[in-house]
Structure 1
Amino acid sequence: MTESDAAAEQVADLVAASELAGVPDEFQRLWTPHRMVYIQAGAAPMHADCPFCAAPHKSDEDGLIVHRGTTCYALLNLFPYNSGHLLVCPYRHIATYDQATPAEVAEIGAITQHAMEVLRRVSRCDGFNIGMNQGRVAGAGVDEHLHQHIVPRWDTDANFFPIIAKTKALPQLLGEIRRAVADAWG
C-alpha cells in the first residue's frame, strides 16, 4: 500500500466515524458535565481534600451552596439522586452525628426543615428521602465529614430508567437548580 493509499483510507475511516455519531447503539449516554471535576482531579479526588471543608471557602456558585448558616450550611449534591438533592453539613470536620454539638444538631434540623419548604415551592415535589449514611460501611461516599441528604421525590419520578437501565434522568443542570433554590431560600 502506498502512502497516498494509506492517507486516503484514514480519511475514509474518519468520514465513516463522523457519520456514526448519531447512530443508535447499545450504550445509554447522559450529559453530566458536573462530573468533570472528579475526572480532572484524578483517580481519588475525595481523599485528597474534604469537599465539605473546601466548599465554604468557594463562592456559592462554585461550591454549589444554597444557604450559609452559623454552624452548618446547605449545598447541592454533586452526584444527585434526583434534581434538587441537597446536603446539610456542619462547617466543622466531624464524622458522625454523635460528635455534633447541640447547636449543630439544632441547625441541621432547622436547615433541613427550611430546605423542605423551599424545595416544595421550587420543584413542587411530593415527598422526601432524608437521611445520613455514617461510615463507609453504611454507604457514606464521604465518610469523614457528617452530611445529611435531602432528596426530593415526585409521584412520577420512578420511571423505568433506574429499574431497567440503571440510569437516573436529571432534567436540570446543577447551576440552574442551585440558583433557583438559593433565590427562593429567603
Structure 2
Amino acid sequence: MNSDPAPESPAAFGPSDDGLQRLWTPHRMVYIGGQDKPADGTTQQCPFCRIPAGDDEQGLVVARGERCYVVLNLYPYNSGHMMVLPYRHVSDYTDLTDAETVELAQMTQQAMRVSRAVHSPAGFNLGINQGEVAGAGIAAHLHQHVVPRWLGDANFLPVVGQTKALPELLADTRRRLADAWKTAGGREEN
C-alpha cells in the first residue's frame, strides 16, 4: 500500500506532519527569478532610466524634481516604500554632482514628510545599497530607499513565512503619495 499523499492533497506540497500552515505567494517568484532585473548595467537596460520617460502612474512615479525623482518600489518591503534616485545613470554615491546630492537629500526629506501625512509611520529605514554585494537589486543606478515602519510590522509573516502582507495596491499608494506630495508643496513636474 502506497502511503504517499494524493497529488491534489495539501500534504503533497510540503513536509508532512510538521504542524505548519503554508501561505503560498507565487507572485514573488518573478522577483526571485529576476524577471525585472536588467540584463546588464547599461542605460538601455536600466528600468530607472526608462521610468521617467513614461507615464507616471504606470511607472509608479510619485514626484519629479530637476535632477532626481521619487518612485514606489515595485517589490516593497512595506506599503509606501519609495525610492529617490537621480535621472542620471550613475551607480556610486560619490559620483553624484553636488546638485544631485542636495536634491536627493531634499527629496528624501520630503518623501518622509509625505509618508507621515499619508500613512503615519512610527519610523523609517533609509538606505542606499551600494553595489550588488551590498544588496542592490539594480546596482548600476543609485537609489535611496525610504521605507516607512510601524510597530509590529515585522510580525511572523516575514520572519517565519518569508512573506510580506501589504494592505494597499501599488497604484492606490502611488496616487495617495503623489497627491499628498503636490499639496505639501513638493516640486512636481509632469
TM-superposition CA deviations, 1:141-177 (whole Å, max 9, x none):
0000000000000013121111111111111110010
SS in 1 for 2:142: coil
- Equivalent residue for 2:186? none
- Equivalent residue for 2:77? 81
Partner Cα separation in structure 2 for residue 174 and residue 104 of structure 1: 27
Structure 2: runs of 5 or more not aligned: 1-7, 15-20, 183-190
Label 1:31 to 1:142 Cα distance change in 2 as closer, same or farther (>3 A).
same
Residue 62 of structure 1 and its aligned partner are, at CA, apart by 1.0
Alignment of 1:60-79 (within 5 A): 60-79=56-75
- State yes or no: 1:150 paired with 2:125: no
The one-letter code matched in structure 1 to 2:118 is: V
RMSD of aligned Cα (Å):
2.7
Of 92, 97, 111, the residue aligned with 1:115 is 111
- Equivalent residue for 1:47? 39
Q: What is the TM-score of this pair, normalised by structure 1?
A: 0.79
Structure 1: runs of 5 or more not aligned: 1-16
Q: What is the TM-score of this pair, normalised by structure 2?
A: 0.78
SS in 1 for 2:76: coil
Label 1:123 to 1:32 Cα distance change in 2 as closer, same or farther (>3 A).
farther
- Equivalent residue for 2:18? none
Of 24, 28, 31, the residue aligned with 1:29 is 24
Aligned length: 165
Residue 139 of structure 1 and its aligned partner are, at CA, apart by 0.8
Bigger helix fraction: 1
- Equivalent residue for 2:88? 92
- State yes or no: 1:185 paired with 2:181: yes
Residue 43 of structure 1 and its aligned partner are, at CA, apart by 5.0
Partner Cα separation in structure 2 for residue 110 and residue 137 of structure 1: 27
Assess if the C-alpha contact under 8 Å between 2:60 and 2:171 holds in 1. Answer: yes
